[in-house]
Structure 1
Amino acid sequence: MDSLLYYLTPNEMDPFYLFWAKQLFISVGIIAGFYLLSRLLQRVLAKVGTRLCAYTETDLDDRILEIVSGPVMVLVNCAGLYFAIKRLPLPERIGVIAAGILFVINIAIITTVAFRIVNEMLERFGDRVAGPEMSRQLMPLIEKLCTIFLIITALIITLKHFNYDILSLVTALGVGSLAIGLAAKDTLANMISGFTLMLDRPFRIGDRIQVASQTGDVVDIGLRSTKIKALDNTFLIIPNADLCNSTVINQAFPDVRGKGRINIGIGYDCDPERAKELLVRTAKSAPNVLAEPAPEAYFMNFGDSALNLSLFFWVADYTHLVKATDQINCALVKCFQDNGVNIPYPTRTVIYEKDTDHAPQD
């Protein structure tokens, strides 16, 4: 440009400056026109969009409208700047660089808007769809995955726009994902099992569950493991894959009521009906036993040295089961003693016969 001005005579430079002044004026007019268009579009969105959003009960569309309205103005202004620069008689390389910068800015704005919309939807519907416990564990991971997906998508679109070969990038991502998957297969198995537990929800935080011989209250359901507080105040950290492949007994489902059972034996000389009546009456007198469903007693079988009976009762909360069992057992000892019902010890009768045929002769 400087060399061109050097060879121009003063008479030739006047039309040259007039030409550039005219082009710059037109470009400035284009930028101003697109700015006014963006302001007009913003007002239209504010008025029409607000009226349309007023017909819905949720305020999610209002938040999305608020998120979109600002970036739309920026995109319109960038479009005006692009057309203004494109019509200037600039060297081709400068035009390509300017167009590339504006394209990257537009992709960054669109990616940011998409992320904010996804984040808003996750915050609004996470607790409603997944529940508070699952939302607390799952939503941060989903947000990170969405962020990574949007960034990778924006990167691929940008590279494709500048005619870069994205096949090698996709292949590298695939090979890297395969290597990571093989190296962390146990961790991935536990994470997938964590998703299964959160979606299937066989138990919730606070439920008392039994896994094999271990019983405790669920404290936390993580992506890799589940933490259980045992009845002896110890912590059990069980991998989610083990929980998914084990039989789990949830004592808090379908409700928190608990059913207790007391097995007791009475002597063969005692009346089973009388003993059953005493069992039911004693259970009803216990403070923690529910009146409905009522306690029930059954004659189960004939034992080696006793008639075996079972008492079934319900408590309002499974945490009261041990206390109610203690109350009933203490009351039963006194009740049976007062009513002449004996609880026999295990006995064994040994009959000894003398062998007279092989006895020594005097």
Structure 2
Amino acid sequence: MEYFKDIMSTINRFLSRRIIDTDNIDITIGTLLTIIIVLVVVTYVLRLVHKFVTAKLPEADKNKFVSIFNFLKYLLYILIVITVLHASGVNLTVLLTASAALFVGLGFALQYLFQDIISGVLIILDQSLHVGDVIEIDNKVSRVFEIRLRTTRTLTRDDKVIIIPNHVFLTDSIYNYTQNHNITRESLKIGVAYGSDVSKVTQILEAVAEGNEDVLKTPKAFVQFDDFGDSALMFSLNFYITNSFGAPGIKSQMRYKIDTEFRDNNISIPFPQRDVHVYQHSPFQHSRVENSTKEWGLGDD
């Protein structure tokens, strides 16, 4: 019995050995081991929770959950460390006061980081942005493929990745082409020569839209006579598609087809014309005047 008491006494002395010993801060080996054990247990429990929840989530929502989960996990770790230190008798008030200057410096340095993190949490909770959305920012159209806690990553039409800080979505105006649904309306501007049969032009444009497999049948494409331009009659072909990210390619196909149909039907697309008026004035008259010393009353000395 005495043997076990000696062992326990030795263990207690070891755990009570101070790592940091000041007037207000007293951290022992036991405190440090308690923090490590609690963190290990909490990490194991969180892994089980993560595995259980993500197994039932759709693939599109997993990344959102992981972002929030990681944020809450690190926040929980900080709370655990503070709680264990406080329970061990560490005077946290003095510790925080001594570190006030450091926290102020870190606050200024990390303010944009925290701003992005909070914005990321709000975006995920608000459901204002989803993976797969087609957005326009700074006149660049791109598709969202990953929403992280601090940044959102998008892919442009020329396969370039844009990394967007999350606070941009809360402070700037962003076009979201697919916020409500995947259907978007696109438009092509076409000019034809004056004197062209406008009814024939309308029929050709409507037929081109109907013949394109990427253009939706409902809502139906329609043609508008927009304006009498300086050198052309201006039309717009409006149509609906579900692949707004691939709109440039669809428009290119339709332009090829329109050009072919116009050639076959003798409809010309004019180039800009300008009338130049030349006004000719009377030619400049030049007369030579000879001055002499006699005319000016200047004689020889």
> Shared topology, TM-score over 0.5?
yes
Task: Measure the CA separation in 2 of the matches of 1:233 and 1:116.
Answer: 39
3-state DSSP class of the match of 1:233?
Answer: coil
Matched letter for residue 341 of structure 1: I
Matches within 5 A, 1:121-270: 131-159=61-89, 165-172=91-98, 176-270=102-196
1:345 aligns with 2:271: yes
Offset at residue 135 of structure 1 (A): 1.2
Offset at residue 342 of structure 1 (A): 1.9
Matched letter for residue 171 of structure 2: N
Partner of 1:295: 221
Partner of 1:18: none
Task: Measure the CA separation in 2 of the matches of 1:300 and 1:135.
Answer: 48
Offset at residue 326 of structure 1 (A): 2.1
Matched letter for residue 142 of structure 1: L
Higher deviation after alignment, 217-226 or 139-148: 217-226
Task: Measure the CA separation in 2 of the matches of 1:330 and 1:280.
Answer: 15
Contact 2:64 2:148 in 1 (8 A): no
1:283 aligns with 2:223: no
Contact 1:258 1:321 in 2 (8 A): no
3-state DSSP class of the match of 2:116?
Answer: helix
The CA deviation string for residues 122-160 of structure 1, in whole angstroms up to 9 with x for no partner, is 66567769932211222122112112212311321231x
Task: Measure the CA separation in 2 of the matches of 1:169 and 1:338.
Answer: 85
Task: Measure the CA separation in 1 of the matches of 2:45 and 2:78.
Answer: 15
Matched letter for residue 250 of structure 1: N
Offset at residue 121 of structure 1 (A): 5.6
Task: Measure the CA separation in 1 of the matches of 2:126 and 2:68.
Answer: 14
Contact 2:142 2:245 in 1 (8 A): no
Structure showing greater radius of gyration is 1
Number of corresponding residues:
263
**Closer, same or farther in 2 for the Cα pair 1:353/1:166, shift >3 Å?**
closer
Partner of 1:312: 238
TM-score (norm: length of structure 2): 0.70
Higher deviation after alignment, 166-175 or 146-155: 166-175
Task: Measure the CA separation in 2 of the matches of 1:171 and 1:122.
Answer: 36
Partner of 2:19: none
Matched letter for residue 80 of structure 2: L
Structure with more strand by fraction: 2
Task: Measure the CA separation in 2 of the matches of 1:353 and 1:177.
Answer: 78
Contact 2:63 2:148 in 1 (8 A): no
Matched letter for residue 133 of structure 1: N
3-state DSSP class of the match of 2:167?
Answer: helix
3-state DSSP class of the match of 1:259?
Answer: strand
Contact 1:156 1:166 in 2 (8 A): yes
3-state DSSP class of the match of 1:131?
Answer: helix
**Closer, same or farther in 2 for the Cα pair 1:267/1:318, shift >3 Å?**
same
Matches within 5 A, 1:15-26: none
Task: Measure the CA separation in 1 of the matches of 2:263 and 2:82.
Answer: 79
Partner of 1:78: none
Contact 1:202 1:250 in 2 (8 A): no
Contact 1:190 1:224 in 2 (8 A): yes
3-state DSSP class of the match of 2:135?
Answer: strand
Task: Measure the CA separation in 1 of the matches of 2:263 and 2:128.
Answer: 45
Q: Which runs of 5+ in 2 are unaligned?
A: 1-12, 17-29, 286-301
3-state DSSP class of the match of 2:88?
Answer: helix
Contact 2:150 2:165 in 1 (8 A): yes
Contact 2:226 2:235 in 1 (8 A): yes
The CA deviation string for residues 273-317 of structure 1, in whole angstroms up to 9 with x for no partner, is 331222111210112211111111101112110111100111232
Task: Measure the CA separation in 2 of the matches of 1:117 and 1:226.
Answer: 29
Offset at residue 170 of structure 1 (A): 4.5
Matched letter for residue 254 of structure 1: N
- Report percent identity of matched pairs: 24
Q: Which runs of 5+ in 1 are unaligned?
A: 1-93, 98-102
Contact 1:287 1:324 in 2 (8 A): no
3-state DSSP class of the match of 1:227?
Answer: strand
Offset at residue 118 of structure 1 (A): 6.7
The CA deviation string for residues 321-351 of structure 1, in whole angstroms up to 9 with x for no partner, is 2332122111111212222322111111123
The CA deviation string for residues 31-81 of structure 1, in whole angstroms up to 9 with x for no partner, is xxxxxxxxxxxxxxxxxxxxxxxxxxxxxxxxxxxxxxxxxxxxxxxxxxx
RMSD: 4.0
